[in-house]
Amino acid sequence: MEQDKYLSVEALTKYIEKKFEVDPYLKNIYVKGEVSNFKQPVSGHMYFTLKDEGAELRCVMFQKSAAKLGFKPEDGMQILLTGRVSVFSKGGRYQLYAEWMEPDGIGSLYIKLEQLKKQLDKEGLFAQNRKRALPSFPAKVGIITSKTGAAIRDMITTMKRRMPSTEILLFPTIVQGDTAAPNIVRNIERANFRNDIDVLIIGRGGGSIEDLWAFNEEIVVRAVADSDIPVISAVGHETDTTLTDYVADVRAATPTAAAELAVPDYRDLLERIAERRFRLIQAMRQRVDVSKQNVDRKRERLIMHGPKRQIEQYQERTDYYVERLERGLKQHLMMKKYAFERLSFRLTHTGLDREIDQQQQHLATLNKDLKQQMSRLVTMKRRDFLQKVEALEHLSPLALLKRGYSVVYKEDEILTSSKDISVGDPIQITMATGKIHAKITKKEDK
């Protein structure tokens, strides 16, 4: 029976849980502290510890409440939290079930804005190298804003004043409230679906951060980044800055400033055209003057060195050579004439027949002398020849043989000494007429 007074753990925990639930103060409690050990698994529930210098409190926020937050808690963040305190029976501990929280000191929207800005900047959506230049002379400008706001009137008035020829196409848009962001995105897509818009202005007039919040929504920022049309962001006043300003190609301080950036002022253009026309005329005049000077110089060179001048020079040279030729011919003719006259004079005074007779007589004399000299020369040559023949006759071996001498040979060698032969050697003896073959029978040497 003693054991009946003991409670089970579960029964005791249920008892304590009932105590927490009946306490009206714990049903709606306000607590502030520092976030620690924050975790958010795929279920979307948030688990963390709220602590201060004296204590720690386990906290949980279910996914349905967490989805309503405009920021994501982080470790070390000071927060204000509302909820209820109860017992988690399985773990045997009490914890705070948070239903709402916000940053302590700064607004949740600011935290959400900074977190989204950091994320998009990390993705490169705000990079300067993504931004495009606006067309200088847009034919059609699209405007995404409220059709009833002052901003659209200011933009239309400004653009019509600056460039009346530019066509303006308004996309009536909800720019504030929960439906603003998807409506802005849809109109950006509609504008890009067309192929005739050169510049797109997205914006609205001034307001609080909550009023301008649609232009901080992630879907709007990404739609602006994906736009094929260059975008001018014109949200709020000059001091208002939204994430659309960061991602747009050009940020305008106000809607009116956006209209001034979108289209040029035709009066400025006229002034620039007039100025350039004046400069162009001046440049053309200078160029014409330079061209005239060049033409004058070339004309002078043409006169001095042109074909006409060259023909004149050639003509002058021709005249000079013709004159020299005529003078030379005259001199040559004069010399020939003079020689002819001298020859004619000689022929006239000596007579040609007489000169021929004299030449023939002189030729006959020369012929006679030549014959006489040749006869004497032949006689002298004949006598010399006979004398040399006679001398040769005296020196000839045949003459000696005829006088009784003979020549002794031994084997075709002439013997001149008995020492060159031996007894019994055959010999040949050549005489004036005939040969004798003999043999040595005796010899006597000297």
Which tens digits make up the pLDDT trace of 251-277?
998 999 999 999 999 998 899 899 999
Percent composition of the chain: helix, strand, coil (DSSP 3-state, to 5) = 55, 20, 30
Q: What is the DSSP string of 263-310?
A: S--HHHHHHHHHHHHHHHHHHHHHHHHHHHHHHHHHHHHHHHHSHHHH
Range 7-33 average pLDDT:
87
Which tens digits make up the pLDDT trace of 380-419?
888 888 888 788 777 777 777 887 888 888 888 888 888 8
Identify the pLDDT of residue 78: 84
Range 295-314 average pLDDT:
76
Q: Which of 46, 13, 33 is nearest to 103 (CA)?
A: 33
What is the distance between the alpha carbons of residues 151 and 237, in angstroms, rounded to a whole number?
11
9-103 matches 137-264 in fold: no
Is the per-residue pLDDT at 59 higher than 60?
A: yes
What is the distance between the alpha carbons of residues 199 and 222, in angstroms, rounded to a whole number?
18
Identify the pLDDT of residue 395: 73
Identify the pLDDT of residue 340: 84
- The token pair at 211 is 């009023």
Q: For domain 9-103, which CATH number applies: 3.40.50.300, 2.40.50.140, 1.10.150.20, 3.60.110.10? A: 2.40.50.140
Is the per-residue pLDDT at 105 higher than 80?
A: no
- The token pair at 105 is 């000191």
Identify the pLDDT of residue 190: 96
Identify the pLDDT of residue 107: 62
Band of pLDDT at residue 85, cut at 50, 70 and 90 = very high
Is the per-residue pLDDT at 1 higher than 70?
A: no
What is the distance between the alpha carbons of residues 101 and 82, in angstroms, rounded to a whole number?
6
Q: Give SS3 for 103.
A: strand
Output the CA–CA distances (angstroms, integers) from residue 154 to 107, 255, 269, in the order listed.
32, 7, 22
Q: Would you mind telling me the total number of residues written for the chain in this entry? A: 446
Reply yes or no on domain 137-264 having CATH 2.130.10.10: no
As a dihedral over the C-alpha atoms of residue 344, residue 347, residue 349, residue 351, rounded to 10 degrees, the angle is -160
**DSSP letter assigned to residue 92:** T
Residue-averaged pLDDT of the chain: 88
What are the domain boundaries of the chain? 9-103, 137-264, 406-440
Which tens digits make up the pLDDT trace of 279-296?
999 999 999 999 989 888
CB 255 within 8 A of CB 215: no
